[in-house]
Structure 1
Amino acid sequence: MDVVISIQHPGHVHLYRYVARELQSRGHRVHVFARDEPIIRALLDTYGLEYEALAGPGRSPGPRAVGQLAYEWRLLRRVAPLSPDVMTAVGGVSVAHVSKLVGARCVVFTDTEHATLTNALAFPLADRICTPRYYRDDHGAKHHRYDGCHELVYLHPDRFTPNPSILDEAAVDADERYVVLRSVAWTAAHDANNGGFDDVAEVIERIESTGARVLLTAEGDVPLGFADRCVDIRPHQMHDLLYYADAFVGEGATMAVESGVLGTPAVYVNTLETGLTDALAEEYGLLFRCHGDSRQERAVERTVELLEHEAEYDWERRRVDLLADVDDPLEAAVNEICGTA
């Protein structure tokens, strides 16, 4: 088959790098198209995936819509001569629209119930909607659930081996405790009227009062006077940094889930909830949710407690319990694309 993969977010590169290689190993021709964004290109180049970059991103509601339309138009022009058999993406707005114009089957992956605009634009035209089994909503006969989660496609121990050289790259001493703190820019459509931290500077100071170091990765503005906490590593090294961290605290659900499946306790600070983050919290105790009005205070208290009593927890056992409870999702993802699931 000719399979078209569309990538419009850096996190999707990690998922599709393995999916693309498995498809190619089965004899299929894979064509990767990506939004022309520096971090996406950096990841694709690092992983050695052949791709073509299309339109760049928009940064506000108006330009974002225009940018999306430009991306879809360019994707249509490039894909039409290929006559693909199937098109796939995470979220899947672009492939849902273009696939119908070129006669291809459309397979979209998602784990985000609250991405209501994206889901409304993509799902009616998709042939397959693939989600983790923990996903709350039901999208009818074309909705297929699989074990595990997107993050285990690339962080399953069969494919991910942490590289300890990240400690030297991040200038972290071998015996130094550190926490990865993630703040987001709140520009996604589903971020409207939602929030996470009230004061990132205060969070940093409270965590550092325990003697642990804070490594900050920020999408938006960095608090004045805290630029030296920003971690300067290459995008593909973030999972190594999360693996060796003593804890993660942040507003991003993806990095919280990544931390959890790596066996690093994750404190998720966001008014938005998902079935996946609920499962990691309730079934495996790998993630701690802080959603309400006092979410920052509870997040700081939980993070400090994890650091001060870390000897009382067996995070590796919890990770092993998760891995024992789910099938490797890579094969399920590829089978969905191939139509053999």
Structure 2
Amino acid sequence: MSDAPRIIVTVQHPAHVHFFRNAITDLEALGYDVCVFAREKDIACTLLDTYGIEYETLAGTASSPIGLAKTQAIYEYRILSRVRALKPDVLLAIGEPAVAHASSLVGGQSIIFTDTEHAAVSNGITFPFADLLCTPDAFWDDLGERHRVYSGFHELAYLHPDRFTPDPMILEDLGESDNEQLVVLRLVSWNAAHDFGRSGIDGIETLINELERGGATVLVTAEGQLPPSFADREVDVPPHRMHDLLAAADLFLGESATMAIESGLLGTPALYVSDLQAGVLGELETKYRLLRWLSRRAGPTEIADHACGLLSVDDSTWSERRRTVLEETIDTTQFIVDTVEEVARG
């Protein structure tokens, strides 16, 4: 058996693939033995395949609270069995209780990353068992002596300019013109554990019509099937090229907090419409002014008015604000790697 320190990385969401993928590469280059376990969620496994990351799928997805509980129980059991067999030095996850529980039973050190204060149930059954809790410094809660903060955002693990350069050919490849004001509209499925019982933007068709009357081209990406009335606006973009599209867009509008943050960090203003808030969202809005938040109770006309206002701002303003963010934050992947090295090698 190899003497290399063994790391387990778990993935439960497409954003987790992006968060860890550069760290996996860097850790393997440093000689670590990295094992990746995944749970099927949207396109998470597709992204792992795209990036050539070897993994084992341990559980499927769920569309109800009862289904999620069953899936979580299966996942916990299988994670525990793999951890007992592999005896890892370090276990990495984003807000994942199974990893924290398993590490407490086998002696490995769990490092749990999170930026989501409102995931109360998951946080409540995860945080007490974690060895180290890592959050952006904008995180609202003080998690005690095991809490470590860093200056940045989860999304800078893969969108930091040292890690990502947008492909300028994305619009041409999608058959879109770069001479139009492009709005990417994102609709989510609302079936994550912390989303059950919530709903999204009302009056989508009216909103699209308002934006188009204002001269914008609207491209829709959705986790579910779109109604026929605006299904023709759906864009078929490969999952691994979504960040190229966000960088090329003039505005992101939608219910996805992750994509809103991604857009802002790429220098594309984000109009985030949701009743869910978080410290990182607030910081991107109030400190860096790359994001604007609206309650989902806002009507389509109000949302369209805010969107048109953001579209009227000069591109150089967004570029300058992005530059400020990058000057004041870090490469999150380097933080992940440095933290693992510290924990694994003592």
Any runs of at least 4 consecutive aligned residues in structure 1 with deviations exceeding 6 A, and if so which? none
For residue 141 of structure 1, give the secondary structure of its aligned residue in structure 2: coil
Displacement of 1:196: 3.5
| TM-score, length of structure 1 as denominator length | 0.95
**1:100 to 2:104 alignment:** yes
How far did residue 45 of structure 1 move? 1.1
User: CA deviation digits over 1:295-334, x for unaligned, max 9?
Assistant: 6544321101122x23376111110010001122222122
How far 1:245 moved relative to its partner?
0.1
* Matching residue of 1:55: 59
1:317 paired residue number: 320
Matched, 1:212 2:216: yes
> How far apart, in 2, do the equivalents of 1:259 and 1:198 lie?
22
Aligned-pair CA distance for 1:191: 1.9
C-alpha contact 2:257 2:281 (8 A) present in aligned 1: yes
Range with bigger deviation, 111-120 or 218-227: 218-227
Amino acid in structure 2 at the alignment position of 1:217: T
- Rounded Cα–Cα distance in structure 1 between residues aligned with 2:296 and 2:37: 39
In 1: Cα distance, 2:286 partner to 2:304 partner: 20
CA contact (8 A) 1:92 1:108 kept: yes
Aligned residue for 2:88? 84
Shift of the 228–293 alpha-carbon distance from structure 1 to 2, 3 Å rule, reads closer
Distance across 1 between alignment mates of 2:303 and 2:292: 8
Match of 1:179 among 178, 183, 188: 183
Matched pairs, number: 340
- Which stretch of structure 1 is more off in the superposition, 117-126 or 325-334? 325-334
Distance 2:95 2:191 in 1: 16
CA distance in 2 between counterparts of 1:248 and 1:81 reads: 44
Q: Deviations over 1:208-229 (max 9, x none)?
A: 1112111101123413311111
**Separation in structure 2 between the aligned mates of residue 332 and residue 98 of structure 1, nearest angstrom:** 24
Going from structure 1 to structure 2, the CA distance change for 1:296 and 1:143 (only over 3 Å counts) comes to farther
Distance 1:73 1:252 in 2: 30
Question: What displacement does 1:193 show?
Answer: 4.7
Q: For 1:171-320, what aligned pairs fall within 5 Å after superposition?
A: 171-291=175-295, 293-294=297-298, 296-307=300-311, 309-311=312-314, 314-320=317-323
Q: Which residue matches 1:11?
A: 15
The SS at the match of 1:285 is coil
C-alpha contact (below 8 Å) 1:266/1:286 kept by paired residues: yes
Structure-1 separation of matches of 2:162 and 2:315: 28
Q: Which residue of 2 aligns with 1:109?
A: 113
- Residues 155 and 258 in structure 1, CA contact (< 8 A), matched pair in contact too: yes
State whether residues 89 and 109 of structure 1, in contact with CA within 8 Å, keep that contact through their aligned partners in structure 2.
yes
What 5-or-longer segments of structure 2 have no aligned partner?
none
Aligned partner of 2:70 among 55, 66, 72: 66
Deviation at 1:339, TM superposition (A): 3.0
* Alignment pair present for 1:329 and 2:332: yes
2:117 aligned counterpart, secondary structure: coil
My pick for the range that moved more, 170-179 or 158-167, is 170-179
Normalising by the residue count of structure 2, what TM-score does the alignment of the two structures yield?
0.94
Are the aligned partners of 2:68 and 2:193 in contact in 1 as well (CA < 8 Å)?
Answer: no
Partners of 1:316 and 1:279 lie apart in 2 by: 17
Stretch of structure 1 that moved more, 267-276 or 169-178: 169-178
**Are 2:202 and 2:296, in contact at CA under 8 Å, matched by a contact in 1?**
no
Letter in 1 for 2:118: H
Report the alpha carbon displacement of residue 184 of structure 1 after superposing the two structures with TM. Answer: 1.1
CA–CA separation in structure 2 for the residues paired with 1:147 and 1:200: 36
Counterpart check, 1:140 vs 2:138 = no
Query: Is there any run of 5+ residues in structure 1 with no aligned partner, and where?
Result: none
1:45 equivalenced with 2:41 (yes/no): no
Check whether the contact 1:290–1:298 (CA below 8 A) recurs between aligned residues: no
Alpha-carbon distance in 2 for matches of 1:227, 1:257: 25
SS of the residue corresponding to residue 207 of structure 1 reads: helix
Task: Say if 2:118 is the partner of 1:124.
Answer: no
